[in-house]
Amino acid sequence: MAARPTPAELAGAEGRFVPDVLAPGLRVLFCGINPGLWSAAVGHHFARPGNRFWKALHLGGLTPRLLAPDEEGELLALGLGITNLVERATAGAAELAAGELRAGGARLAAKAAAARPGWWPCSGSAPTGPPSPAPGRRSAPSPTRSAGPPPGCSPTPAASTPTTSSPTWPRRSRTCAGRWAERGALRDRDRPGAAGRAARR
């Protein structure tokens, strides 16, 4: 596990990027709003202590064990990946400008069109809502009726939020994970040559 960053290292992480965990043909590509300072300082996604993203993946059955943030590379073998709407790290999403969010939406759509994940839910919240989907991509309806990946289907992983403090949070994580896995399986089934690959498994 990465060492705890010092206050100076956290301050110096402002504006840094955290590399995507990305490959073509993923079952699920998780999208955060932007990296926090802790994640940027250590170079791994959802790395701040108390962040429940990794626990949600395990409780939902998407990972066989609870992974640490510095084990994020193991997600690719499981058909999972991570990216961000905006690449630069800040202390909070409220520090992002509207123009950054719009540009991030276009960048995310391009990533999704190139990598073609089966499903790409967003975790977290931003002032202007989620990005628009890539051309030709479909996304499930969200409670807010916003275009793009449904923010309501991915419980925000921050430990301080009412969502993750609720006793129903593990069950909701499992429910969402089941939906992600199902959509990824359906996407795999519909790909050319999928039947032949399934027979060889």
The pLDDT confidence band at residue 137, using thresholds 50, 70 and 90, is: very low
The answer, yes or no, to whether residue 152 has pLDDT greater than 70, is: no
The answer, yes or no, to whether residue 177 has pLDDT greater than 70, is: no
Give me the active site residues, please: 34, 45
Sorted by where each begins, the domain ranges of the chain are: 7-130+140-189
CA distances from residue 157 to 100, 165, 189 in whole angstroms, order as listed:
22, 10, 30
DSSP collapsed to 3 states, the chain: CCCCCCHHHHHHCCCCCCCCECCCCCCEEEEECCCCHHHHHHCCCCCCCCCCHHHHHHHCCCCCCCCCHHHHHHHHHHCEEEEECCCCCCCCHHHCCHHHHHHHHHHHHHHHHHHCCCECCEECCCCCCCCCCCCCCCCCCCCCCCCCCCHHHCCCCCCCCHHHHCCCHHHHHHHHHHHHHHHHHHHHHHCCCHHHHHHHC
Q: What is the pLDDT of residues 53-86, one digit of tens each?
A: 999 899 988 999 999 999 999 999 999 999 999 9
Q: Give the other-Cβ count within 10 Å of 172's Cβ.
A: 18
The answer, yes or no, to whether residue 198 has pLDDT greater than 80, is: no
- pLDDT for the residue numbered 121: 83
pTM of the model: 0.69
| Greater pLDDT, 191 or 125 | 125
Average pLDDT over residues 15-33: 94
Pick the CATH number of 7-130+140-189 from 3.40.470.10, 2.60.40.1930, 3.40.50.720, 3.30.1360.40: 3.40.470.10
- pLDDT for the residue numbered 3: 80
CA dist., res. 110 & res. 182, Å (int): 24
